[in-house]
């Protein structure tokens, strides 16, 4: 027996499209899933965008007001892919209306926002999933198993990088992403949030940290039109405005295990296109992952210690969710597949009434790490990470 579940998408930029495609594909890859997502409605304030989404993907209805979604009895679950400043208000309202939520990181503008959403989800008794998609890569899950199983000995240190050029062009428009009031932090919320989640996913809790941040492009031109502006549009010749949040962060980490770490993220790295990855070193080996070669791991382990070689491992059906997508190792999975994994875990959580995958408490923890980074950068000192507030 397969039950239909009405789903809605709030905010139809690129990420709204990715969520929608994941809903459309999820039962192709997971035919035993006892829920069948049905695209009920899409909410988007940009004129015409919701109608285009409905025509392309088959949503039954459209609206420009997300509050209509909260009031719609046909909707059982909602993807929230709107800008950061709207996360808290929309998510709390959806939870209070009894809707399960799948929300993109960083879940608001601060740890306080993320806690408010987590509390609303817990109080309403609904399921809440969060878009930390990189932890869903089968190679990342394989790395975690190797690390936690002692395959590289006792972990000593990790380097995590998230370097991109999406904001490197000096004519990039001054959209909501660069404003404190609507975007919150800059590269902290956009990229370092993933890094914080990966750090904890792989190595456990972070005890303390010290961070340095910088703005390298202090002015950008305001976009000519649009309520929030397109995500990475250009605005040559527009009225200049100040960039209010950081382009870059470098952070030293101390884990409760005693391991040390470095997390670096930048949105203006010329020559870097989604250069995301990690290097984890232990007393007997190391493991390396590069998102651009998502289905591979570099693994070094043994007792040679010095001059110990690194082998390339192609993940396959025995790793993570790989078998749901490809029949054999070295057949590539892609970014959108990670969102299908996420959709499956969200829908499975609803079907089984128990969490699977990244949840709101994970978002709270990541947000607490980001708040600690901002606090450390302001003080120029080490600070403790306190996810409880």
- 92 and 179 in a single domain? The answer is no
- Say if CB 85 and CB 176 are below 8 A apart: yes
pLDDT given for residue 231 in this prediction: 52
Measured CA to CA, the distance from residue 366 to residue 106 in angstroms comes to 8
- 145 and 159 in a single domain? The answer is yes
> For the chain, what is the domain count?
2
- 294 and 178 in a single domain? The answer is yes
- 160 and 111 in a single domain? The answer is no
Q: Which domain holds residue 250?
A: 138-329+358-384
pLDDT given for residue 229 in this prediction: 44
DSSP structure string for 20-36: HHHHHHHHHH-TT-SEE
- 188 and 77 in a single domain? The answer is no
* 4 φ/ψ sector (left φ>0, alpha ψ -120 to 50, else beta): beta
- 310 and 278 in a single domain? The answer is yes
**Average pLDDT across the chain, whole number:** 95
Asked, for residue 348, whether it belongs to a domain, the answer is no
Q: What is the mean pLDDT of residues 111-134?
A: 98
- 10 Å Cβ neighbour count for 86? 19
Domain boundary among 133, 158, 183: 133
Measured CA to CA, the distance from residue 12 to residue 45 in angstroms comes to 9
Domain boundary among 101, 118, 133: 133
The string of pLDDT tens digits covering residues 158-184 is 999 999 999 999 988 998 889 998 889
Measured CA to CA, the distance from residue 134 to residue 119 in angstroms comes to 25
pTM of the model: 0.95
Strand pairing partners for 10? 43, 80
pLDDT given for residue 105 in this prediction: 97
The string of pLDDT tens digits covering residues 315-363 is 999 999 999 999 999 999 999 999 999 999 999 999 999 999 999 999 9
Asked, for residue 16, whether it belongs to a domain, the answer is yes
Beta strand spans in 113-243 (E): 128-130, 155-163, 206-214, 219-221, 240-242
Phi, psi dihedrals of residue 242, rounded to the nearest 5°:
-85, 135
pLDDT given for residue 366 in this prediction: 98
Asked, for residue 380, whether it belongs to a domain, the answer is yes
Domain boundary among 118, 133, 148: 133
The string of pLDDT tens digits covering residues 238-294 is 788 999 999 999 999 999 999 999 999 999 999 999 999 999 999 999 999 999 999
């Amino acid at each position: 027996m397969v039950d239909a579940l009405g789903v809605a998408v709030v905010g139809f930029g690129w990420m709204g499209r990715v969520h929608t495609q994941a809903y459309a594909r999820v039962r192709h890859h997971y035919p035993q899933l006892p829920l069948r997502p049905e695209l009920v409605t899409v909410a988007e304030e940009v004129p015409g965008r919701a109608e285009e989404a409905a025509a392309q993907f088959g949503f039954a209805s459209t609206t420009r007001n997300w509050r209509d979604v909260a009031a719609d009895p046909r909707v059982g679950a909602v993807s929230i892919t709107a800008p950061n400043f709207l996360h808290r208000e929309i998510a709390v309202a959806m939870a209070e209306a009894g809707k399960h939520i799948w929300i993109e990181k960083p879940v608001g503008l601060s740890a306080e926002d993320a806690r408010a959403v987590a509390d609303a989800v817990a109080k309403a008794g609904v399921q809440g999933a969060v878009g930390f998609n990189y932890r869903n890569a089968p190679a990342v899950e394989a790395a975690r198993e190797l690390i936690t199983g002692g395959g590289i000995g006792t972990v000593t240190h990790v380097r995590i990088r998230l370097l991109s050029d999406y904001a490197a062009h000096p004519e990039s428009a001054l959209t909501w992403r660069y404003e404190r009031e609507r975007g919150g932090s800059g590269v902290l919320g956009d990229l370092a949030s993933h890094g914080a989640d990966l750090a904890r996913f792989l190595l456990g809790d972070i005890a303390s940290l010290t961070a340095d941040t910088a703005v390298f492009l202090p002015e950008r031109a305001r976009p000519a039109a649009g309520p929030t502006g397109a995500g990475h549009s250009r605005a040559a010749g527009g009225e200049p405005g100040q960039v209010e949040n950081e382009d870059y962060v470098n952070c030293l980490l101390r884990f409760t295990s005693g391991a040390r770490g470095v997390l670096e993220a930048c949105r203006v790295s010329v020559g870097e296109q989604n250069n995301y990855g990690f290097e984890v070193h232990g007393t007997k080996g190391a493991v390396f992952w590069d998102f651009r070669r998502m289905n591979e791991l570099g693994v070094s382990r043994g007792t040679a210690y010095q001059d110990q070689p690194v082998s390339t491992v192609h993940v396959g059906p025995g790793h993570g969710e790989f078998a749901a997508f490809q029949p054999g190792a070295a057949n590539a999975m892609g970014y959108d597949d990670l969102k299908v994994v996420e959709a499956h875990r969200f829908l499975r959580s609803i079907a089984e009434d128990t969490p699977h995958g990244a949840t709101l408490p994970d978002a709270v923890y990541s947000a607490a790490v980001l708040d600690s980074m901002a606090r450390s950068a302001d003080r120029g000192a080490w600070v403790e990470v306190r996810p409880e507030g």
